[in-house]
Amino acid sequence: MIKVGIVGGTGYTGVELLRILAVHPEAEVVCITSRSEAGMPVADMYPNLRGHVDLAFSEPDASVLAGCDLVFFATPHGVAMRMVPELMAAGVRVVDLSADFRLKDLDTWADWYGMAHESAEWAGKAVYGLPEVARAAIRDAQLVANPGCYPTAVQLGFLPLLEQGLVNPARLIADAKSGASGAGRQGKIGMLHGEIGESFKAYGASGHRHLPEIRQGLSAAAGKGVGVTFVPHLVPMIRGIEATLYAELVDVADFDRLQSLYEARYENEPFVDVMPFGSHPETRSVRGANHCRMALHRQENSNIVIVSSVIDNLVKGAAGQAVQNMNIMFGLDERLGLSAPALLP
C-alpha cells in the first residue's frame, strides 16, 4: 500500500483527492493537514466521506509527512515551495497541485505570483505532470508539478496540431470557460450564487496566471515559441471546463487528415476521448471523471481548425490527474481509482 499524505485538505481539490483515494486499491491516506481545522474529523466537514475516511485534520508535521511514500500538496501557491525541500531530502515523493513548480522561468513565476520563488533547485528538477506528454519522466520523478485546469484542456486540444507543425504557432486562440469551483472554496462575494447565477463573464482578459503555463507547454510541443491568446470565462455551474480552440492551418489540404491524426495521437491514452468530427462534447459528460473529451470542427472552407475540449476542472484538471500521476510514479495501472464513469444528470 502507498502511504499518502495530503497537505491542505479543506479545499475542493483536497476533498476530491479524498473521494478518489477512498476507493483506490493500492493507496491509503494516513494524514491530511489543515492549520485552521486541526482536530476536526474529515467527515464532519465533508459528509459524503462518512464511512470512507476516518481521519481528522491535523497540523502539518514534517516528521509525519516524512513517513509517507507520497505527499499531495493541495495548497495555495507559496506553501509547497517552502516545504518540499525537506520532504525531498527525506526521500518522499510529491505531487504538487499548486502552481509552485509548474514554470521553469522563475522570474516569470515571480511576476505572476507576486513573490520570489524559494526553491529554485527543485523548480528546475520538477517534472511537469501532463501524462500524455511526459509519462516516462513522471515515472522516475520525485517531484511532479500537476498541471493547471485550463492548461490541461488547452494543451491536450492543441498538441497534435503543434507536434506535427500543421498550424501557425504564432496565432493560437483559447477561449475557455470554467465553473465556479475553479476559484476554490474561499468565501468571496464575487463567487456567491447570487452574484454569478444568471450571468456569464470573461475575466483575466488582460492576462491570467495560467497563460505562461499554457505558453510554456505549447512552445515545447511546437519546438519553438508560440503566440497564444487565452481568455477565461466564468459560467454559473459548479464543475467543468470547456475550451474552444482556434488555430490556422499552414496547408488547408491537411484538414482531411486531422481526425485520423487526433485519433492516432490519443489512441493509447486512457483518459482522452476523441469524438467523431463535428461533435459537441459537453462538460456534463466528464463530470466527476478523469477524462478529456474533444472534437474537431471546420466552418465551410475555412483554414481555421476549431477544437472543443472539455474536462472536469477538479478531476482531470486537478485531483484525478494527480492520482493518475501517482499511479505512474509507482508503476501501477494509471487507471486505478479513476475508472468510474462520469455522473449524469
pLDDT tens figures, 300-327: 999 999 999 999 999 999 999 999 999 9
Task: Kindly name the residue from 31, 68, 149, 292 that is annotated as catalytic.
Answer: 149
- Cα 19 to Cα 26: distance, rounded to the nearest angstrom: 14
Residue 149 annotated to the active site:
yes
39 in the same domain as 109:
yes
297 in the same domain as 157:
yes
Task: Determine the average pLDDT of the residues in 209-223.
Answer: 98
Residues in CB range of 140: below 8 A, 6 or more apart: none
In a domain, 318, yes or no: no
In a domain, 300, yes or no: yes
In a domain, 108, yes or no: yes
**Per residue in 253-278, is it b (16+ CB within 10 Å) or e — as a string?**
ebbeebbebbeebbeebbbbbbbeee
What's the domain count of the chain? 2
Query: Is 187's pLDDT higher than 90?
Result: no
Question: pTM of the prediction?
Answer: 0.96
pLDDT-derived band at 189 (thresholds 50, 70, 90) equals: confident
In a domain, 13, yes or no: yes
Task: Determine the average pLDDT of the residues in 212-237.
Answer: 97
281 in the same domain as 161:
yes
168 in the same domain as 292:
yes
Query: Is 197's pLDDT higher than 90?
Result: no
177 in the same domain as 119:
no
Last residue of a domain, one of 110, 125, 140: 125
168 in the same domain as 102:
no
What range defines the domain where residue 23 resides? Answer: 2-125
230 in the same domain as 155:
yes
175 in the same domain as 304:
yes
Grid cell of 183 as nine digits:
476559484
pLDDT tens figures, 4-34: 999 998 899 999 999 999 999 999 999 999 9
208 in the same domain as 90:
no
